[in-house]
Amino acid sequence: MARWRLGLAAGLAAGVLAAGLWLLGALDRAENLTWDWRVRRAAEPSAAASRIKLILLDQASLDWGRETGGWSWPWPREVYSAVLDFCRRGGARTVSFDLVFTEPSVYGVWDDEALGAALAARSDAIVACHVATDGTITWPVPEVRTGSARLGNVSGQPDPDGVFRRVRPAVAARDTVIEGLGLAAYRLAGGAAVPDSSVILRFAPAGTYAVYSAAAVIQSELRLRDGENPVLDPEVLRDAHVFFAGSAPGLLDQRPTPLSRISPGVVVHATVLDNLLAGRFIAPAPRAIVLVATLLAGAVAGWLAVRVNRAWIAALLFVIGLPLPLGAGLLLYGSAVWWPVMPGTLAVAGGLVGGLGANWATEGRQRRFLKQAFRHYLSPAVVDRLVQDPGRLRLGGERRELTIYFSDLAGFTGLGERLDPEALTALLNDYLTAMTDIVLAEGGTLDKYEGDAIIAFWNAPLDVPDHAVRACRAAILCQRELAEHRAELRERCGHDLSMRVGLHTGPVVVGNLGSKQRFDYSILGDAANLASRLEGVNKVFGTGILASETTVRAAGAAILARELGRVKVVGRREPVTVYELGGLAGEVEPAHWRTYHEALDLCRAGKGEVAHRLLAGLTSDPAARALAAQLAADLDFRGLWELDQK
């Protein structure tokens, strides 16, 4: 199966699993936690929030009533008449009591009748009833019930974790529909009926609704009756929907909400009214759309993951992908939509894990094979390129300009006669390792070993714009590495090891050469043959590194090189100008090079005898000795070496 199909299948499987768990309710607890985070993060007041006021019977009010009036709990119900009078004095639109008057007053029936009369004085008051889960309705006592303009249910069922996130504005019980306290206030103010179904609340931030203490309200009303200045100006309640409720801990009217685990229960009723007035209940996203999005999220995650070939990219997919469903949920919250984020998150996570697993089982296994197979022959960058594009490992080649490197150890064959196989093998392995490390560090591609010979090239399969510079630098560094360890190697083999390197830059065919069953990434062409010939030409000049004119020109000022003359080698009709490499840019050119250059120019000018005398003093320069010997045999030598070297 194609790799992308495996990823797609893994992602779809993750999407199906996530969707199934969501439909079964297994993700509800986690989903609720994300919802609470969204509410806290994005809650904002509505335009109607300023019209909702809360009068709370807090602990300070209870203490005030006990100290000034001797009121124990429950308070005398005639006290609430002062609350009603203050609200009406201020011009409140509705007054809703989130207190249950289902038992007769402990002060006697007259107390209930006093509250009933105060309620009946104007048709703007609502009192609470309670609807049990079995449909049983607990009404206020008749004296209170008859005076209220409307009744409002104050019972409610939280989510399974005990948090109130949604309510039923109205419930059907005993063949009648009982409105919730918030809906009752809305209807009393002229609002239209709403469906008998659960709604998701859109909470305002804590502190949005103005709060006044019951003690302050009652004191203000009593002072106004006596012609004194009130604690509160009743105008603060002008055209407001007022809720009177208990908030003292001992009154046991605390309700967990997404904003806080301890909130006065009246906040839920106030939020219902707020959402009704502003028309901003949260709507659940259509189930079919959620299911499609979940499957799509898993499929896309799996399809992307199976194409990953870097650990950091895989990590980036998780960092970007996992928060996306939560981000979508937060964004849609602003559009009043409950978008479940857990199915999408689980689908993305499962898709990524499944896709990466499929990738590991297929393409990853191939990558590991390639890295293991080629790490000894190619630089890490080249191996990574092949891993990225395994299609390059097929039969066939391309014509490219490369710089080719041939090296060989002088006199190594004779060592086999003096060393036992184990010592010879260990020596050769150490040498080849040191040289290969330098070649690979300079971005070269190791073609092959032929005994002690190393064949390498630059500019394939990766593009290396400065391939000539890198090849020359590798040759120089290899010679210096060998020189640094020459004494150590002499102790091991009883012989000074010296190396010859030939370099040439030119077009060759490079690619996977061989049979369909076995092939090597190698090179073919005249340029490769010439590099090999130049390695051998070092014997003529006594040099360590010979490079063609093409290579030296391509390397430019990055290296120090001196021309040794023109060489006609076997297999080529045209002679090649060869150069000895002596160092890197910034290093000092040997003084005797200038003398050699002058002698070579004299040869070309037909002044062989003068050139020979000039070279007489350069006994420490192997190339000068070679040129002097050539002139001694033929004073008409013009700098063209015709060799039968193969």
Residues 550-566 have pLDDT tens digits of: 999 999 999 999 999 99
Same structural domain, 95 and 167? yes
Enter the pTM of the model.
Answer: 0.61
Pick from 446, 451, 462: which is nearest to 404 by CA?
A: 446
**pLDDT by residue (tens digit) across 485-515?**
999 988 888 888 999 999 999 999 998 777 7
Report residue 646's pLDDT band, with 50, 70 and 90 as the boundaries: very low
**pLDDT of amino acid 372:** 62
Domain end position, chosen among 567, 589, 611: 589
- In order, the DSSP letters of 477-532 are HHHHHHHHTHHHHHHHHSS--EEEEEEEEEEEEEEEEE-SS-EEEEEESHHHHHHH
* DSSP-assigned letter for residue 362: I
Domain end position, chosen among 546, 572, 589: 589
Same structural domain, 459 and 358? no
Same structural domain, 254 and 201? yes
Is the predicted pLDDT of residue 175 greater than 50, yes or no? yes
| Share of residues in the chain with pLDDT > 90 (%) | 71
Same structural domain, 635 and 536? no
Report residue 172's pLDDT band, with 50, 70 and 90 as the boundaries: confident
Mean pLDDT to the nearest integer, 386-398: 62
Domain span including residue 509:
391-589
**pLDDT by residue (tens digit) across 395-440?**
467 899 999 999 999 877 777 777 888 888 999 999 999 999 999 9
Q: Answer whether 350's CB lies under 8 Å from 18's CB.
A: yes
Q: Give yes or no for a cis peptide into 284 (omega within 30° of 0).
A: no
* Residue 134 resides in a domain: yes
* Residue 383 resides in a domain: no
Q: In b/e form, how buried is each residue of 193-222, taking b as 16+ CB within 10 angstroms?
A: ebeeeebbbbbbeeebbbebbbbbbbbbbe
**pLDDT of amino acid 144:** 95
Token pair in block for residue 627: 């040129």
* Residue 382 resides in a domain: no
Same structural domain, 238 and 114? yes
Query: β-strand 150-153 against 125-131: which pairing, if any?
Result: parallel
Report residue 254's pLDDT band, with 50, 70 and 90 as the boundaries: confident
Average pLDDT, the chain: 90
Token pair in block for residue 8: 């797609």
Quick check: helix, strand or coil at residue 630?
Answer: helix
Same structural domain, 369 and 397? no
Mean pLDDT to the nearest integer, 373-392: 63
If phi over 0 gives left and psi between -120 and 50 gives alpha, with beta otherwise, what is residue 361?
A: alpha
Same structural domain, 585 and 610? no
Domain end position, chosen among 279, 303, 327: 279
Report residue 305's pLDDT band, with 50, 70 and 90 as the boundaries: confident
Same structural domain, 211 and 348? no
* Residue 419 resides in a domain: yes
Same structural domain, 211 and 106? yes
How many C-beta neighbours within 10 Å does residue 618 have?
A: 18
Mean pLDDT to the nearest integer, 335-357: 92
* Number of domains composing the chain: 4
Point out the least confidently predicted range of 34-48, 62-76, 122-136, 412-426: 412-426
Give me the residues paired with residue 351 across strands. Answer: none
Taken in order 556, 561, 562, 568, the sign of the CA dihedral is negative
Mean pLDDT to the nearest integer, 259-274: 93
* Residue 385 resides in a domain: no
| Share of residues in the chain with pLDDT > 70 (%) | 93
Most confident of 188-192, 407-411, 469-473, 629-633: 469-473
Report residue 358's pLDDT band, with 50, 70 and 90 as the boundaries: confident
**pLDDT of amino acid 498:** 94
Same structural domain, 110 and 243? yes
* Residue 379 resides in a domain: no
**pLDDT of amino acid 213:** 95
**pLDDT of amino acid 644:** 65
Identify the CATH number of the domain in which residue 413 sits. Answer: 3.30.70.1230
**pLDDT by residue (tens digit) across 438-487?**
999 999 999 999 989 999 999 988 889 999 999 999 999 999 999 999 99
* Residue 33 resides in a domain: no
Same structural domain, 19 and 91? no
* Residue 465 resides in a domain: yes
Same structural domain, 275 and 301? no
